[in-house]
Amino acid sequence: MKPLARTLLWTLLSLTLLISTAATDTNIQQDIRIFTVENSGGKITGKSIEKAFEAAGFLIDGNNDMNKPFKARFGTTHYPVYRLATIHDPDLSARLIALNPLMGLLTPLSMSIWQDNEGSMNISVLSLRGLSRMTQIPMNSPDLIALAAKMEKALRAALPGGHFKPLAYQKVADPTTPLSVTFKAVFEAPKDGSILDAKDDFEAEFEGEMEPIGFLFPGFIDVNEELQERGDESYDFYDTYSVCKLDVIFPIHQTHPEVGAFAPCTFFLYKKKGEKTVHMGFPSVQNWIASTDIADKASLDPLIEAENLFIDTVNGITE
């Protein structure tokens, strides 16, 4: 089958799946979707879910048992199972980055996996609407539709017999503040060095500044390598970090375990060939607040504090 015909067929199949789901899914206007199934027997595990997503064609960039660091850091856990996972599809990511480099905000995608105290296993992911709002790629993009459909297919394989859980949030309105925090900088190549050396120097300082204030880096992707493998030579570099902070996720996950659809968050930095500007960014806390109706002070304060620390650190390095 020719590439164009294959793309059209996949788009048609993706649209069919999403339309059939929309007929029964009352959360279609939400940014997050929660897929759930009864699992009191414990047959479904973090490892079995990982295998299902791999079989669906995703790369598993991380699948972290958060109860271990929660227990070590806070002396307790809330759910019998709570995991944060990151995944991506290199082919779809490359095509979507070509549409808008902001796709780096979701390369990789994040999701939370948790078993609640009633015995149900749950997975939270971004909806097609959520993917679109974050990346500013239109919802009718065939590749974005294909990504959402592929995620749904993986969910159904990971949690056989499951269904999308009704959400109690108010209908998510158009945001009044940006859904991403972005930066622009110019990296000066060191003497007898290249722009890649300058990038490496920034990343070393970035990691060195962020780790002492509690940020963790559970994942890293050389996105440019994947782009080049697919014939896209547009960038001098394009890297993404998965970034997490225990003091943020621990209080929030107790009342909003689904926030793993945004955590770990992804920090991107890229420079296009022929340009001087380096672009960087990460998803803003507005995503968490607007998409899950977070309002309690115990959750909001660490979230806002972490974002301010993140912004101050990047600005401090680039000034």
Per-residue pLDDT 10s for the chain (319 aa) are 554 554 455 445 545 444 444 434 445 578 899 999 999 899 999 999 999 999 999 999 999 999 999 999 999 999 999 999 999 999 999 999 999 999 999 999 999 999 998 999 999 999 999 999 899 999 999 999 999 999 999 999 999 999 999 887 765 556 566 789 999 999 998 888 899 999 999 999 999 999 999 999 999 999 999 999 999 999 999 999 999 999 999 999 999 999 999 999 999 999 999 999 999 999 998 888 878 878 888 888 989 999 999 999 999 999 8
Q: Alpha-carbon distance 308 to 95, whole Å? A: 32
Q: What is the model's pTM?
A: 0.89
- The amino acid sitting at 295 is A
Residue 177 has a pLDDT of 67
> Contacts by 157-160 with C-beta closer than 8 Å and gap 24+?
157/52, 157/55, 157/56, 158/35, 158/44, 158/48, 158/49, 158/52, 158/53, 158/123, 159/35, 159/36, 159/37, 159/39, 159/44, 159/49, 159/121, 159/123, 160/37
The domain over range 3-21+30-318 is classified in CATH as 3.30.310.70 = yes
Q: Alpha-carbon distance 214 to 243, whole Å? A: 10
Report domain extents, the chain: 3-21+30-318
Q: What is the largest CA-CA distance in the chain?
A: 62
Distance of CA 183 to the CA centre of its chain: 19
Nearest CA to 264 out of 236, 244, 279 is that of 244
CA dihedral defined by 73, 74, 76, 77, rounded to 10 degrees? -70
Q: Alpha-carbon distance 215 to 209, whole Å? A: 9
Residue 308 has a pLDDT of 95
**Residue matched to tokens 């948790």:** 114
